[in-house]
Structure 1
Amino acid sequence: MASLTEQALRRKPVGMINAETGADTGKSELKRSIGLWGLSAIGIGGTIGTGIFFILSQAVPIAGPAVLWSFVLSAVVAGLTAVCYAELAGAVPVAGSSYSYAYTTLGEVVALGVGACLLLEWGVAGAATAVGWSQYVNQFLLNVFHFQLPAALSNAPEEGGICNVPAIILILMCAVLLIRGVSESAKTNAIMVAIKLAVLVMFVLIGIQGFNTDNMQPFAPHGIGGVTTAASIIFFTFVGLDGVAAAGEEAKNPHRNLPLAIMISLITVTVMYVLVALVALGAQPSGEFDGQEAGLAKILENVTGQSWPGTVLAAGAIISIFSVTLVSVYGQTRILFAMSRDGMIPPIFHRVNPRTLTPVPNTIIVAVVIAILAGFIPINFLAEMTSVGTLAAFVTVSIGVIVLRRRAPELPRTFKVPLYPITPILSVLGALWIIASLRTVTIYVFVIWVGLALVWYFVYARSHSHLGRHEHVGLDATKEEPQP
């Protein structure tokens, strides 16, 4: 019988994962229906959300116009991790994203911890964005119809309301889309992504007409310290790229399309962020950003002297947040699907509807839990918890690239991390640097959350692990790789 340490560190062979997911044969438990643009839209849709609509009011007072370098610095850190994701996604295209990558490189107990981090990332993020969506819906109704929902029906109890109804409605709409089929969901998300990009392009084209170079002076009033501090805030607007990896089992030609989609998402998001920030800084003095609400809308109103841009941007924000929430709920269900297939959590999360090939019970449970969070709990204070969970997953992915290069050098890779091993090492250091900037209480709560995941492992997952029982769920596996 294996010792406790051997059980905790057992690793799932890549051949078994690829056989389960049909990565090489095209036969999968889930329906492979998402092409390159759909995958790219998942990455873009899960990343460009509320952040770019309000982040400047937080970051510009810290860095001044040099916040442009903060965006670039954040993009570099995110890019280092993105190329690590691209290598693993091309080699091991699986629904579990970094959970599955950790399972095949670092061991079972680490994988469960990463899975817990991902559940924190997607679940809390989905609830938080739904709350933000409710606020923008109210703003849009006020601008267009001069009407707002009663505070009792658009706020959580602790915020003076009874229930945040719009937030719950949004979660349920996302769930219905996902239950109908991932193909329909991907198409809907792609349309919403195209609209949100069009709104940001509109901001750039109109806002640049008010560009004044005097607004860029002084460029770096708070020096390099301000630039790096602002970068740690801005970094969180880049999380969501791992949503592409979560679609590994529903991607067409996954070995090729997953790495491409991750890189397309990263480049698109970075270009849009830098352009929006540049135009905003040129059109408005940096001193006016501090505490400014609906900043992008205000800038366009000042440039044009009209109110319609604010209404258009409010509509764009509504669509943008819908897209982010959809990707959040989707990512949550696919992580749970992979964990359940491995026996880490109960089997109900692995059940797939034979007609739509979607995990319907899984989606319903996730929607109910996130809807309760969004409807009755003020979720904004958990934003940093979402971020630390994401960063922990990023560290695991970067380390996983190094481990898998050593364990399976012969494994076909459609994309390879450039400047290996410098790139994954820098990715780890960059993520740790961001984590170090978080509040101490956030780290404490995160440690408690991971501790609860470890308790779950020893109480349930260890004894139910299909790998531990030498069982396999799904399609026939190839022969296991020898474990060193």
Structure 2
Amino acid sequence: MNRKPSMSSSQATMLGAQLRRRKSIANMITESQTNAGAGQLRRTLGMWQLTMISVGATMGTGILVILGDTVPVAGPAIWISFVIAGITALLSAVSYAEMAGMVPVSGSSYSYSYATMGEGIAWICGWCLVLEYAVSVAAVAVGAGQYVNETLRTFGMELPQMLAGGPAEGGVVNLPALIVIALATLLLVRGARESAIVNSIVVAIKAGILIFFSIVAFSAFDAGNFEPLLPMGAAGVTAAASSVFFSYIGFDAASTAGEEAKNPKRDLPRAIMLSMLIVTISYVLVAVSAIGAREWNWFEGAQAPLVQIVGELTGRPVFVLIFAVAAVLAIASVVLTVLYGQTRILLAMSRDGLVPPVFGKVSARTGTPVAGTWITGILVAITAGFIPLGALADATSIGTLFAFALVGASVMYLRKTQPKAERTFRVPLYPITPILGILACLFLMSQLGWHTWAVFIIWMIVGAAVYLGYGRRRSRLGQMTKQEYAATLADEK
């Protein structure tokens, strides 16, 4: 009768040891270069293309899709919410920049956590990234339906309600969302270089329409629209900041391209920081011009508010048509680049044995994880077609904030354990910056509603079950002997 508790204790000890096992950075780089039997990704992306991946994955989501939901929460101070969220993202971005230069492989914060805090935390981070990338793709794609309808209205038409939204929105399926995701998936399967070229073109269009909107909106600017600045108080501003943080998700997309960058140690940090600068300036500019053009109460329940403002101020359907079409392309750009990041996260996790090997198989012809991309695209398309935007956006934010906090912790760990390691970018004002980044992420997490936390906790429970039932048994690191494991960490000594 005493044997059963003893066995349970032994199993717990073994599990604890496996959860703490780390992968060395050198071992990760070696695996990315060999990856026997699964194929290798191709290094085709330069610094500008990496920057456009981050900008493409980020710019447009909050402005084009959820502005109408967040202005009523913060009032005219919505631009302050964007600043708060932007500062929080920047504090994490500098940590990402340092880690991306040190760990130039696919996997982003999942790989960084594996190299610092062990398999258990890495799995949690990877599971959060699955929530971040896959669900944010679906959430953004849902917004495409609104702009497709705005385009059709210029011709006196409109999508039937059954095809314009999922069941929670009074329809059957969000057909535009399904189409956008299908096209993005098809393009990603063809190759990373082709996808990057298309994305760069679309990002240029996206920047153009936001500049055009700002010019139009400032032509009707009324400073009185900013009074009172805080009708919902400071609590409304911070609550909106937690939601619009969703708008900054994507700057880390470049870090998932570590194995496809021509010079990752130099270009990844530069791309991450440059993309943050571009996105933050664009968001604040558009938010200020939008509030200047319309009173904050006007945004209550507004569908595709930017295109509505353009239509009302110009009175010309042709401008509405151009803006709406460009907005759909902008949303498609986000879908393309974030879906790209998701497939690379799953590739890294598959390489470690934590998810099925199908996600790690790279086509010799295209240099992309074809099967994994199709599987991911199909699952995300189903999600986008049937789940409402609000629930998706908030669930995405909490998983992202948690992953960002882990990156800050990873920087601090490596600064302590490997202080002399090569760093092509160093976090300024260390250790204040990563500590502030971690605290800011935790604060914004605390501002999210209880239903969002409920979704997050359920997601974590499901993740724990998947790891214990599948990942733990197939983990490549967990299958090593103590001697083999020690050998992989020899480079750190």
Specify whether residues 151 and 90 from structure 1 end up closer, same or farther in structure 2 by C-alpha distance, changes over 3 A only.
Answer: same
- Structure 2 residue 490 is matched with structure 1 residue 481: yes
Deviation at 1:126, TM superposition (A): 1.6
- Structure 2 residue 456 is matched with structure 1 residue 458: no
Specify whether residues 298 and 445 from structure 1 end up closer, same or farther in structure 2 by C-alpha distance, changes over 3 A only.
Answer: closer
- Equivalent position of 1:117 in the other structure: 128
Measured in 1, the distance between the counterparts of 2:377 and 2:296 equals 41
Listed one character per residue, the Cα deviations across residues 342-393 of structure 1 (whole Å, up to 9, x for unaligned) are 1111211111111111111111111121122223444542321111111111
Deviation at 1:130, TM superposition (A): 2.2
Measured in 2, the distance between the counterparts of 1:285 and 1:278 equals 11
Measured in 1, the distance between the counterparts of 2:302 and 2:145 equals 19
Asked if structure 2 preserves the Cα contact closer than 8 Å seen for 1:124 and 1:379, the reply is no
- Equivalent position of 2:3 in the other structure: none
Q: Which moved more, 1:191-200 or 1:307-316?
A: 307-316
Deviation at 1:88, TM superposition (A): 0.3
- Equivalent position of 2:55 in the other structure: 44
- Equivalent position of 2:288 in the other structure: 278
1:219-298 aligned at under 5 Å gives the runs 219-298=229-308
Asked if structure 1 preserves the Cα contact closer than 8 Å seen for 2:151 and 2:320, the reply is no
- Equivalent position of 2:484 in the other structure: none
Measured in 1, the distance between the counterparts of 2:166 and 2:229 equals 41
Deviation at 1:451, TM superposition (A): 1.9
TM-score (norm 2): 0.90
Deviation at 1:16, TM superposition (A): 0.6
- Equivalent position of 2:110 in the other structure: 99
Match of 2:449 among 433, 436, 439: 439
Give the letter aligned to residue 248 of structure 1.
G
CA RMSD in angstroms comes to: 2.4
- Structure 2 residue 228 is matched with structure 1 residue 218: yes
SS at match of 2:490: coil
Specify whether residues 458 and 482 from structure 1 end up closer, same or farther in structure 2 by C-alpha distance, changes over 3 A only.
Answer: farther
Listed one character per residue, the Cα deviations across residues 279-300 of structure 1 (whole Å, up to 9, x for unaligned) are 2222233343333333223333
Equivalenced residue count is 474
Listed one character per residue, the Cα deviations across residues 308-356 of structure 1 (whole Å, up to 9, x for unaligned) are 4332321122011101111222111111100010111121111111111
Deviation at 1:54, TM superposition (A): 4.7
Measured in 1, the distance between the counterparts of 2:341 and 2:370 equals 14
The alignment-based identity, stated in percent, is 47
Deviation at 1:125, TM superposition (A): 1.6
Specify whether residues 314 and 412 from structure 1 end up closer, same or farther in structure 2 by C-alpha distance, changes over 3 A only.
Answer: same
Measured in 2, the distance between the counterparts of 1:305 and 1:142 equals 14
- Structure 2 residue 371 is matched with structure 1 residue 361: yes
- Equivalent position of 2:328 in the other structure: 318
Match of 1:16 among 2, 14, 27: 27
Specify whether residues 70 and 334 from structure 1 end up closer, same or farther in structure 2 by C-alpha distance, changes over 3 A only.
Answer: same
Whose helix fraction is larger, Structure 1's or Structure 2's? Answer: 2
Asked if structure 1 preserves the Cα contact closer than 8 Å seen for 2:243 and 2:393, the reply is no
Deviation at 1:219, TM superposition (A): 3.3
Q: Which moved more, 1:275-284 or 1:293-302?
A: 293-302
Unaligned runs of 5+ in 1: 472-477
Q: Which moved more, 1:110-119 or 1:163-172?
A: 163-172
Give the letter aligned to residue 222 of structure 2.
N
Match of 1:132 among 123, 143, 146: 143
Give the letter aligned to residue 458 of structure 1.
L
Measured in 2, the distance between the counterparts of 1:299 and 1:379 equals 22
Asked if structure 1 preserves the Cα contact closer than 8 Å seen for 2:147 and 2:304, the reply is no
Specify whether residues 173 and 451 from structure 1 end up closer, same or farther in structure 2 by C-alpha distance, changes over 3 A only.
Answer: same
Match of 1:414 among 414, 424, 435: 424
Specify whether residues 267 and 163 from structure 1 end up closer, same or farther in structure 2 by C-alpha distance, changes over 3 A only.
Answer: same
- Equivalent position of 1:474 in the other structure: none
Asked if structure 2 preserves the Cα contact closer than 8 Å seen for 1:109 and 1:454, the reply is no
Deviation at 1:202, TM superposition (A): 0.6
Asked if structure 1 preserves the Cα contact closer than 8 Å seen for 2:246 and 2:393, the reply is no
- Equivalent position of 1:303 in the other structure: 313
Match of 2:95 among 84, 89, 92: 84
SS at match of 1:382: helix
Measured in 2, the distance between the counterparts of 1:270 and 1:379 equals 23
Give the letter aligned to residue 37 of structure 1.
W
Specify whether residues 271 and 152 from structure 1 end up closer, same or farther in structure 2 by C-alpha distance, changes over 3 A only.
Answer: same
SS at match of 1:358: coil
- Equivalent position of 1:475 in the other structure: none
- Equivalent position of 2:205 in the other structure: 195
Measured in 2, the distance between the counterparts of 1:89 and 1:297 equals 37
SS at match of 1:3: helix
Give the letter aligned to residue 179 of structure 1.
V
- Equivalent position of 2:5 in the other structure: none
SS at match of 2:219: helix
TM-score (norm 1): 0.91
Q: Which moved more, 1:157-166 or 1:95-104?
A: 157-166
Asked if structure 2 preserves the Cα contact closer than 8 Å seen for 1:388 and 1:435, the reply is yes
Specify whether residues 35 and 483 from structure 1 end up closer, same or farther in structure 2 by C-alpha distance, changes over 3 A only.
Answer: closer
